[in-house]
Amino acid sequence: MSSETSTPYTPASTITFGNNETVSLADEIKKYKTKELIDFLRKEEDLELSEKVFEILEKEEVNGRDFLKATKQDFRDYGMNGGPASRLADFAKECKEKKKRAFSSYRSLEEVLEKYGIKSSSITSIPQFTPGKLCTCQPFSLRIATHVF
C-alpha cells in the first residue's frame, strides 16, 4: 500500500502559452510588503476602503501573502467592519483568479492593439511621438575656454 500525495491546483499558479509563461496577479501580490499592499489597495477605488481599514492593515502588518490567504473572518478578527472585510475577502479571491498576460503571449499585433481599443485598420490614427525641444546649453568647461581673462 503506497501513500501518494497530490499537489492541488491553485488559481495562483502560472499558466503557459507555448514557450511564454504568464504569471497570475496573485504571484505579483505575494511579493508585496505591507506598504506596497496598502498602496495597491488604495488604487482600487471601487473597494471604497476607508483610512481606518488601511490603518488596520498597517497595524496587523498584513503583507501580500497574508492578504491572499485571508478570509472575511480574518479581516473581522483584525478589527474591520463587515463591509470592508467582505469586500477585501472577495477582492483577494478575484486576485487569485486573475492572470497577467504577457505581451509575448499574444498571437498577433492585432490582438495587442485590440486590447488597447485600437482597430488594426486604423493604426495610422495613433499619434506619433514628438520629442520636446532640446536645450542648447553650453557646458561649463566650454564657457571657461572661450572666456577672455
Tens digits of per-residue pLDDT, 88-133?
A: 999 999 998 876 555 455 567 677 677 667 766 666 666 676 777 7
- 30 versus 4: the higher-pLDDT residue is 30
pTM of the model: 0.54
Q: Over the stretch 18-65, which tens digit does the pLDDT of each residue have?
A: 444 456 788 889 999 999 999 999 999 999 999 999 999 999 999 999
Cross-strand bridge partners of residue 22: 15
What are the CA-CA distances from residue 15 to residues 19, 22, 87, 100, 124 (Å)? 10, 6, 27, 10, 34
- Per-domain residue ranges for the chain? 27-97
Q: 27-97 maps to which CATH number?
A: 1.10.150.50
- Give kind and range of the element (H or E) at residue 76: helix 72-78
More confident residue, 107 or 5: 107
Rounded to whole angstroms, the Cα distance separating 99 from 65 reads 17
Q: Is the pLDDT of residue 7 over 60?
A: no
